[in-house]
Structure 1
Amino acid sequence: MDDDDYWNTSDTKAKAFSFDDDVLSPQEILAIGQKTYPGQKEESIFSSSSISTVKVAQIPLMSLVTPKVLDLILLAQSGKDPAQEQSQESPETVAVTLKRLVLGRRCALHVHRTMKSKTELLDGAVAIGDGNAILTVVLFLIATLNKKLVYELLSSRLIALNHYISFLQNEGKITELTDLLTMLGRSPDAAMAHFQHAVKTQGNNVDGLLRKVTNILANHFNQPGVDAHQTKMVDAYVKLLEWQKLANLPELSNRSALQCLAYTCSRHWTEGAGAAMSPLTLGQRQQISPLQFDWVVLNVHAKSGKWDILESLFTKKDWLGRSTVSSHVPAQCLLRRLSELGASSRLMAACLAKLPSADERLALALNYKVHCVVIQTYAKQKDRLALTNYKMTLNPQSEEYILAENTLRDPSIKWKN
């Protein structure tokens, strides 16, 4: 009989080991070594005479059985139930549950039925500071307690409250969020949550967003305690949506007021006040501040290379015929931006002339290399040495070099050095 025929006989199959179930009962564990097999001598390795041989040969016990099986053998010999013993070793206390939550292990939250136990779970999670554990416990409390009671617990535990609020915001559960905030006496926050959710979910649908925000303004921003500035802001947003609906341009859908202003400056600059698409009309309608208006105009026209518009808008002649800049943007900020955008020396010089301090004017002129202002300032200070040294840094035969040379030769200037 060959090997395959031998292993396929019914008698052999009956004697063969089965590996289908690797879980042994205590009785089966104790029976290991007591059963003799064909060809085995009476004195097996488990017999008393073989034990001494094993000791002499120093064969490790772990080479015969695994630690898990050895533990089960010892447990079975003690007469204790393994399942009961394991349960007694690790009761599901608050500390054990929190440890398992932090480690990401499975835990039985349902065993904590008393209010005291649930409160300890929440306080323990907050003390540990693990966000996932805090949120898991809060959701467990929401599922097993009255919501009002949970909200009262959260109101005195701001860390847990903020985690739950963030969860509701991220999940888009606006009803639960506003109920929570309203019950906590935070009506302004509830109103803003409604507003933010509407803007976030409506996308570029101007008509739908306009209807929703108008409804929110009427129903939520008229509540006591709502900040007047927030109400004014939402009202301005409704007006912007109305203007966007009137413009009926996809590229303007759900854009900010300043983005819409930039569009009108670029495409409709020549339209006068009163026209729907005029920058001036939009600025007045949305109450855009003069500073914001000037900043948008500056960037739009400078990037388009329309310096003539900027010069006519921002410069004016004083009674002596000198050009100065008239802008609501602070001079230093305006200078920096003009330099970044590549403004002409004439416009930079006009901007510098607005600075009252000669020292500040000179420092900025040197920094931005506005040579004519540097030369004029040294001449006013009658500093011949400084002007001479500065002339040496200029390109010979350049306009600035010739201006410096002519200034140094000016007989009307009484130099101090």
Structure 2
Amino acid sequence: MADDDYWNTSETKTKAFSFDDDVLTPQEILAIGQKSYPGQSENVFTSTVSNAKTTLLPLSSLVSSKVLDLILLAQSGKDPKDKPEPEQTVAVTLKRLVLGRSFLLHTHRSLKSKTELLDGAVAIGDGNAILTVVLFLIQTLNKKLVYELLSSRPLALNHYISFLQTEGKITDLTDLLTMPGRSPEAAVHQFQHIVKTQGNSVEGLLRKLNNLLSNHFNQPGVDTHQTKMVTDYVKLLEWQKCANKTELNNKSTLHCLSYCCTHHWNEGAGNMMSPLTLCQRQQVTPLQYDWVVLNVHANSNKWDIVESLFTKKDWLGRTTVSSHIPMETLLSRLSELSASKQMLATCLNKIHNSEDRLRLAQKYKVHSVVIESLAKQKDRSTLTNYKMTLNPQSEEYILADNTLRDASIKWKN
């Protein structure tokens, strides 16, 4: 019987497969090879393991080439309806990649094609495209070769560095930066990773950072500022270990200073928990010290400590302000902390420029300073209008009224 006649028999039609809709299972494919037809002996397709010789017929005698193609497609797991994927050029691949469409990277097998992909992604400047191509190169090329390609393409290198940081792949990041001679930068990334991942274990952190300090930061070529930063942090961890306070573990220097100001303010210099001792040990600047002390004691309503720290008496007995905090910044913070008008006035009088003093006095509603400033400017008209904004019979209203009546002032309007 001819092939076409065989496939048209009723028995075969009943058991036939629709290659347009179904994917053949391995069992179904095997059944095709085992199916006999009239005129064929039962043992034609039998293979006996014990026999050295096996009689086999060509597969093309059983099925047509079209059916064979469908069988192979079914074995691959692909949808028979799918069209063959055309080979994509570098330009087409990059375009589809940037537009978010399906793309084929595996068609680019040569080093030249892969390099063109990388250069094209860099030229476009799309971060996702660059990272996708770089990861493809990492998977398909020698890692050293990829690092060499990235070293001459800073944009691609920085995207990959950011990726490795995010993924916490510190070993790969170190290798990547060490190859082009960026070991100091690799050391900084290791420092950041250790601090981020170690948790609150001070002893474990100390051990790792001391090792990092001796093996990387104390090497030639490392920035001295970075080495000092790590050294100071190690010293802080040693202080935290001695303090033995879990709430201080792996906290910043200023956080520890705030704790000392709150709980050990009266400790004498030389005592480990004294704020002054910590400042000296960690080289806290006077500006940082003033800011922490101001916030700690003002928030605790200990204004007597704040005033004793920031106000002094000069040799004429006048109260003046002594602070390393810029005056406008100090005024703003004192106002936010609800400092007294008297203290605000003391700070305002420290400002030598009369225009700035008047502007800030009006901003923070320190009426006594506004009235005094307008009187010095002999601006009767503005002072009169300002008096009308005050509460009648208040102390400020009476001060403004008495100032306007002062005959010794030669008003200019």
If the length of structure 1 is used for normalisation, what is the TM-score?
0.76
Where does the alignment leave 5 or more consecutive residues of structure 2 unmatched? 1-8, 24-65, 67-79
Q: Quote the residue 1:182 is aligned against.
A: 178
Shift of 1:106: 5.8
Q: Quote the residue 1:370 is aligned against.
A: 366
Contact residue 142 and residue 150 of structure 1 kept, 8 A: yes
Provide the C-alpha distance between the structure 1 equivalents of 2:184 and 2:247, rounded to a whole number of angstroms. 32
Q: Quote the residue 2:153 is aligned against.
A: 157
Contact residue 105 and residue 136 of structure 2 kept, 8 A: no
Judged with a 3 Å threshold, the aligned counterparts in structure 2 of structure 1 residues 167 and 406 are, in CA distance, closer, same or farther, namely same
Q: Is 1:145 the equivalent of 2:134?
A: no
| CA deviation string 1:382-416 (max 9, x = no partner) | 33333333222211221212222333344444444
Shift of 1:360: 1.2
| CA deviation string 1:100-155 (max 9, x = no partner) | 5443536352x433321221122223233343332232233233333332222111
Provide the C-alpha distance between the structure 2 equivalents of 1:125 and 1:414, rounded to a whole number of angstroms. 76
Q: Quote the residue 1:107 is aligned against.
A: 104
Q: How does 1:225-240 map to 2 (within 5 A)?
A: 225-240=221-236
Bigger Cα displacement from structure 2, 126-135 vs 307-316: 126-135
Q: Is 1:22 the equivalent of 2:13?
A: no
1:126 to 99, 122, 127: 122
Q: Is 1:268 the equivalent of 2:260?
A: no
Contact residue 90 and residue 113 of structure 2 kept, 8 A: yes
Instruction: Look up the SS of the partner of 2:231 in the other structure.
Output: helix
Instruction: Look up the SS of the partner of 2:235 in the other structure.
Output: helix
Q: Quote the residue 1:68 is aligned against.
A: none
Provide the C-alpha distance between the structure 1 equivalents of 2:410 and 2:105, rounded to a whole number of angstroms. 94
Q: Quote the residue 2:288 is aligned against.
A: 292
| CA deviation string 1:148-201 (max 9, x = no partner) | 322221111112111211121122111111111111111221110110010111
1:393 to 389, 392, 413: 389
Q: Percent identity?
A: 71
Q: How does 1:90-105 map to 2 (within 5 A)?
A: 90-99=86-95, 101-102=97-98, 103=100, 105=102
Contact residue 358 and residue 377 of structure 1 kept, 8 A: yes
Contact residue 125 and residue 134 of structure 1 kept, 8 A: yes
Q: Quote the residue 1:219 is aligned against.
A: 215
Contact residue 100 and residue 107 of structure 1 kept, 8 A: no
Shift of 1:327: 0.5
Shift of 1:20: 6.1
Amino acid at match of 1:192: V
1:283 to 269, 279, 282: 279
Judged with a 3 Å threshold, the aligned counterparts in structure 2 of structure 1 residues 116 and 271 are, in CA distance, closer, same or farther, namely same
Instruction: Look up the SS of the partner of 1:220 in the other structure.
Output: helix
Contact residue 240 and residue 249 of structure 2 kept, 8 A: yes
Contact residue 187 and residue 223 of structure 1 kept, 8 A: no
Provide the C-alpha distance between the structure 1 equivalents of 2:168 and 2:340, rounded to a whole number of angstroms. 52
Provide the C-alpha distance between the structure 2 equivalents of 1:258 and 1:335, rounded to a whole number of angstroms. 22
Amino acid at match of 1:305: N
Provide the C-alpha distance between the structure 2 equivalents of 1:226 and 1:326, rounded to a whole number of angstroms. 39
If the length of structure 2 is used for normalisation, what is the TM-score?
0.77
Amino acid at match of 1:203: G
Shift of 1:245: 1.1
How many correspondences in the alignment?
348
Provide the C-alpha distance between the structure 2 equivalents of 1:163 and 1:343, rounded to a whole number of angstroms. 49
Shift of 1:19: 6.9
Q: Is 1:316 the equivalent of 2:312?
A: yes
2:195 to 180, 199, 216: 199
Amino acid at match of 2:119: D
Provide the C-alpha distance between the structure 2 equivalents of 1:19 and 1:393, rounded to a whole number of angstroms. 96
Provide the C-alpha distance between the structure 2 equivalents of 1:342 and 1:301, rounded to a whole number of angstroms. 12
Provide the C-alpha distance between the structure 1 equivalents of 2:376 and 2:130, rounded to a whole number of angstroms. 70
Instruction: Look up the SS of the partner of 1:121 in the other structure.
Output: helix
| CA deviation string 1:69-95 (max 9, x = no partner) | xxx9xxxxxxxxxx9x965x8224434
Amino acid at match of 1:356: H
Provide the C-alpha distance between the structure 1 equivalents of 2:289 and 2:404, rounded to a whole number of angstroms. 43
Judged with a 3 Å threshold, the aligned counterparts in structure 2 of structure 1 residues 226 and 416 are, in CA distance, closer, same or farther, namely same
Shift of 1:372: 1.1
Q: Quote the residue 1:352 is aligned against.
A: 348
Provide the C-alpha distance between the structure 2 equivalents of 1:239 and 1:276, rounded to a whole number of angstroms. 13
Q: Quote the residue 2:376 is aligned against.
A: 380
Contact residue 191 and residue 216 of structure 1 kept, 8 A: yes
Provide the C-alpha distance between the structure 2 equivalents of 1:382 and 1:248, rounded to a whole number of angstroms. 62
Contact residue 379 and residue 413 of structure 1 kept, 8 A: yes
Provide the C-alpha distance between the structure 2 equivalents of 1:414 and 1:94, rounded to a whole number of angstroms. 85
Q: Is 1:332 the equivalent of 2:337?
A: no
Shift of 1:287: 0.9
Instruction: Look up the SS of the partner of 2:273 in the other structure.
Output: coil
Provide the C-alpha distance between the structure 2 equivalents of 1:230 and 1:311, rounded to a whole number of angstroms. 38
Q: Quote the residue 2:299 is aligned against.
A: 303
Amino acid at match of 2:104: C
